Amino acid sequence: GRRGKENHPMNNWGEVKPVGTLAREVERTPCSILTGFLGAGKTTLVNHILKGKHGLKVAVIENEFGEVGVDDALVLETEEEVFEMNNGCICCTVRGDLMRILNKLSRREAKFDHILIETTGLADPAPVAQTFFFDEDIKASYSLDAIVTVVDCAHIIPHLEENKPEGVENESVEQVAFADKILLNKVDLVTPSEKAAVLAKIRSINKLAEVIETSYSAVDLSRVLGVKAFDLARVLQVEEDFLDTEGEHEHDSSVTSVGITLRGSLELPKLNLWLTTLLQTRGTDIFRSKGVLNVSGSDSRHVFQGVHMLMGISSSEDGVGRGWKEGEERESRVVFIGRNLNREELVEGFEACLVK
């Protein structure tokens, strides 16, 4: 079976399935997942994309809960559920299977620069994200680029603090927890101290995502499209910020970020076994995980990231990022974002992987 992977070298993908890809492969169309509460500003963002003179060919796919109404005056050609806009972008409505529409788009002669999948009505973008790692046809044509969450700065705190009945997920907390990019929208409607409180709350849930402040969802598209958040090589480039494992640790929210920094080197088999077991047993509660690792006997910097039970691992030896610099302090840093995380347990498990 698949159980005997613990002995493999770490530059193989982890136990379950890879998240992220090495750069040297065929050009695939990057896809982003757009999420956020009703009224946060997703419609406005989508309309910027469908109307703007940004020079990109973007296909927007909305599901049947979509709140985006396509302005008829801008539609050039309608073909089944696909609306072609006069700036070269298209908008599709999915009534049913996302895979079907992605396969249909991949057969069109004109290729797209980017695809944006709008997921109103879904608490957890993970099922959509996992499509990009499990379905062979989709994997051949597309890569997952980033999960983008639009947050209404004026109204988000009550949503984040809402107490749900047991077993019912808080959708807005999950949307913040999963994000690679957070558009903090409607910042013009709040005072500086109100904005600071929202930022602190977002950071307590997700310390990895870049927060971009906007009004009317106006944003330079290069900051939210083509981010390669699931490309392990990019994880290393931004690691200085996202792996700041110090900072505040709030204990009042069930969804938190736990960051750990360790000095010393890690034993590969122990580390592989610990991460694999952790994500298999606690994966439903761990939304995102990322880390840069100092592995014993190697001058390569290793990097891993996960979404739920999916995990990908690579190293500078494989051409992902740079190796350790001479004289650089080699330390390992990991961040987990999830529900009911036990910091002591995670520290203990991570420390047990150190070379004794």
pLDDT at position 94 is 63
Q: Which amino acid is at 296?
A: S
pLDDT tens readout for residues 208-247: 889 999 998 999 998 999 888 877 666 555 544 444 445 4
In degrees rounded to 5, what are phi and psi of residue 127? -60, -40
pLDDT for 123: 53
Dist. CA 119–CA 64, nearest whole Å: 9
Q: Are strands 82-85 and 301-307 parallel, antiparallel or unpaired?
A: unpaired
Q: Cβ neighbours of residue 343 under 8 Å, at least 6 residues apart? A: 249, 258
Is 230 in contact with 260 (CB distance < 8 Å)? no
Structure tokens belonging to residue 81: 């559920």
Where b means 16+ CB within 10 Å and e means fewer, 275-301 reads bbebbeebbeebbbbbbbbbbeebebb
Q: What pLDDT score does 240 carry?
A: 47
DSSP secondary structure string, 153-198?
TTTHHHHHHPPPPTT---HHHHHHHH-SEEEEE-GGGS-HHHHHHH
Which pLDDT does position 184 carry in this prediction? Answer: 96
Taking 70 as the pLDDT cut, the residues of the chain under it are 1-26, 63-82, 93-96, 120-124, 232-253, 320-321
Query: Can you tell me which residue has the tokens 């109103």?
Result: 120
Using DSSP, state whether 79 is helix, strand or coil: strand
pLDDT at 120: 63
pLDDT digits (tens, 9 = 90+) for 132-165: 877 788 888 998 899 999 999 998 988 888 877 7
Residue reference for tokens 């290793």: 302
The contacts of residue 292 (CB under 8 Å, 6+ apart) are: 235, 236, 239, 243, 301, 302, 303, 332, 333
Angstrom distance (rounded) from CA 215 to CA 266: 45
Q: Which alpha helices (DSSP H) does the chain contain, by range?
A: 42-51, 98-106, 126-134, 136-141, 156-161, 171-178, 192-205, 232-237, 239-242, 268-282, 343-351
Q: Cα separations (Å) of 175 from 50, 108, 349?
A: 24, 32, 28
Find all residues with CB under 8 Å of 196, minimum gap 6, and list them.
Answer: none
